[in-house]
Amino acid sequence: MTLALLGIAIVVLLMLRVPVAFAFLGPSLVYMLVDGRSAGMAMRQVAEAAQSFPLLAVPLFILLGSLANHAGLADRIFRFALALFASIRGNLGYVTVGTSVGFSWMSGSAVADAAALGKVQIPAMLKNGYDRRFATGISATSSLIAPIMPPSIPAVIYAGLAAASTGALFAAAVIPAVLIALGLCVVVWVLVRRQPNIRRGRFDVQELRASTKGVLLPILTPVIILGGILAGLFTPTEAAAVSVVYVILISLIQRSLSWRGFITALRETVLTTGAIMIIVASAALLGYILARERLPQMLTELLFEITENPVVFLLLIAGLMLILGTVIDSTAILVLVVPILLPIALEYGIDPINLGVVLILSLMIGLLTPPVGTVLFMTAAVSNTRVGEVFRGILPFLIPAIVVTLLAILLPDLILFLPGVLGL
């Protein structure tokens, strides 16, 4: 009954559009007081949740993505990809996917990707005869690559919560991200055949040479991040710090980052980090309460009554994450469910790295679906398009993401292959 009342209070607050952090924090504080526990103990739980060294990488990766955006690195990657695929039919569809892959090595956030690249990608496609649904759909869906491909912010948060190797999780996410990108290219190939008004460009060697100069230095950023981590030179937090310094240096060399842009990037980082950390802290208090009420044990018993098959368990979890991801911030969900689901997954013999990839993939799909898909609304805003029309454009592009999520569930060796090869 206590858990039911707590859940009802949270749902009501969320329906009233109360911010997620406060929707979690308010009922949790009431529970603590009614249970005879002091507010000081509650605040100690909240404060301790934010005191995590792995989570220190979160603001640094956010700053990295923001600096890359304000330094125009996304525009340079887009220009290079456009010059490379200029003469291919449907080139802007492939360029959109390629640009998202390139920018994902510096972004780590689907919303940042959708905001930064959507403003460039969608107008370019509309100008060249692409259907509006196609343009918004491929731009929105390709942004999901950012929180999957390293440096994934959800992966950093999961690794901190699960006491798992961030490097192993980064490595495990590479193959799913690449498969999603390839799947999106297949969907683009199919759909552009139905759009006779699409105009293609002409291959220009001079433009390719000029655009290549602009991306030679930025393209080394993922080498620093993933290469440094996998080679054992840096921890993820140190790799994030080194990458920030590197992006600042190349921005100074290329004179692409103004003082105003630098200050704006710092401001965006502070605001985004503050929002994430207050969610982490409030969800941690709620997680403490749920653990105290023995919810993990009750769920374990219930799930084992339903099935003893780990594949069925992961399918159930993926479906749940897809639903929750449409209405609650992915950070809050991870902080809330990982301490509950991880012990259950271990009982099923599921590798924590595989569980993390499945959770992240499922939650990211939720960013594109109503009623509160964040990327869905961001794409609608930057393209000045109705949300319903954007969602209809997204539907065919969701197929690769769903297929890859199923592969992560059915073929765990596919996910664990790269970490195993690298000895992580």
Is the alpha carbon torsion for 347, 353, 355, 359 positive or negative? positive
The answer on pLDDT for 353 being more than 70 is yes
The DSSP symbol for 147 reads T
Question: What's the rounded Cα separation, in Å, for the pair 210 and 83?
Answer: 9
Helix (H) or strand (E) holding 125: helix 110-127
Give per-residue pLDDT as tens, 396-405. 999 999 999 9
Question: What's the rounded Cα separation, in Å, for the pair 98 and 362?
Answer: 22
Task: Give the list of residues 6+ apart from residue 207 with CB closer than 8 angstroms, or none.
Answer: 83, 86
Question: What's the rounded Cα separation, in Å, for the pair 31 and 33?
Answer: 6
Q: Give the residue from 348, 366, 321, 338 showing the smallest Cα distance to 412.
A: 348
**Amino acid 90: pLDDT:** 77
pTM of the entire predicted model: 0.84
Q: Which residues of 111-140 are buried (b: 16+ CB within 10 A; e: fewer)?
A: bbbbbbbbebbbebbbeeebbbbbbbbbbb
The DSSP symbol for 226 reads I
**Alpha carbon 406 to chain centroid distance?**
18
* CA gyration radius, the chain: 22
**Amino acid 350: pLDDT:** 92
Coil, strand or helix at 16: coil
**Dihedral (Cα; 266, 271, 273, 279), 10-degree rounding:** 180
Give per-residue pLDDT as tens, 207-229. 778 878 778 777 777 777 777 77
**Amino acid 39: pLDDT:** 66
Residue 47: Cβ within 10 Å count: 12
**Amino acid 416: pLDDT:** 92
Q: What is the 3-state secondary structure (H, E, C) of 29-63?
A: HHHHHHCCCCHHHHHHHHHHHHCCCHHHHHHHHHH
- Report residue 361's pLDDT band, with 50, 70 and 90 as the boundaries: very high
Tokens of 207: 């433009």
Cβ-contact 412, 172 below 8 angstroms: no
Residue at 192: amino acid letter: V
**Amino acid 332: pLDDT:** 78
Give per-residue pLDDT as tens, 251-305. 888 888 888 888 998 998 888 888 878 877 887 788 778 777 777 777 777 777 7
The answer on pLDDT for 372 being more than 70 is no
Give per-residue pLDDT as tens, 68-79. 878 877 778 878
Cβ-contact 213, 154 below 8 angstroms: no
Question: What's the rounded Cα separation, in Å, for the pair 418 and 424?
Answer: 9
**Alpha carbon 300 to chain centroid distance?**
28
